[in-house]
Structure 1
Amino acid sequence: MGKIEWAMWANEQALASGFILLTGGIVGVAGQFRGWEFAAYAVGQYCFTVCVKAFGPLTRNYYVRAFLHAAVCVPGGFMLATVLGCVCLGIASLIYLVAAIRGEHWEPILPRKEVRKPAAESIKNPPQNPPPRPPPEMRRKRVEDMEGAAYDNPISVTADE
């Protein structure tokens, strides 16, 4: 069996919890519930994304991600509309911790330059006769290809004789 990639599951869980937290934040702010300020932070998730990108290599470490997700989920626990998102984010934090303990690390996916191999000679010159084709050594040679050949058939009958 293959090795489980825990970080992949943590990423999926964090993404889903972000949507749940955003939904709860919108409901909390729109309903002006008591403590709606805690819901307002859930709506501004773009700020968290900018912070994660700004810290670069530090936030690529899964121990740091586990701690950051645990810290970010705390304010969501103070309001009912964002509790579910808070719990989901806490679960993502635990999964990131498992990924860090298992020794996983984040590697960026960068575009690769494609190295094109030169086209084979058979691709440059398409076949001239329809399939099925005999192997190359069994094919008849065309007269045009035989011009200048070193072999003349002595048995061939000419009109001069």
Structure 2
Amino acid sequence: MAKKSKFKQSKLEQKSEYIKPSSIEGDDKISFNFRRMRSDGDKFKYCDKDSRYFLKLVERLRDVCHLTPLELKTSRSSSLKCHQINFADSRCTEDGFGFNSQDIDDNGWQFEISQNEHGRIHGFFLENIFYVVWLDPKHELYPGKKL
């Protein structure tokens, strides 16, 4: 039986003292920010990846920049597999991004670099900006889905 999430779903009308909820109605294309990116520990390590991995990563980021947040979040593309991160899921190895804001964890998203080959990118949206937190080449956030 699936574990019920301990987090309430974020609402656009909800006020936060930390961040503004993501607006997914605008026409602004996605931009990426790496200010919050972390590679500490062995779980989200990417330094041993070859140039092919980084080429695929940059190509995916380039392609996603042509989308709006709404287009990415509602895409049914099997190569993107974009969906929200449920940190309350028992298969998830983290209980949040580790920032001092529950709002950020409630707004966590992930998408694939390439279909079942190079792992995923995890982060959160603030308006049309996707803040990359982890590169996950080995599917370590959800290890039951390893390559």
TM-score by length of 1: 0.21
TM-score by length of 2: 0.22
Greater RCO structure (CA 8 Å; 6+ sep): 2
Report the structure, 1 or 2, having the larger strand content: 2
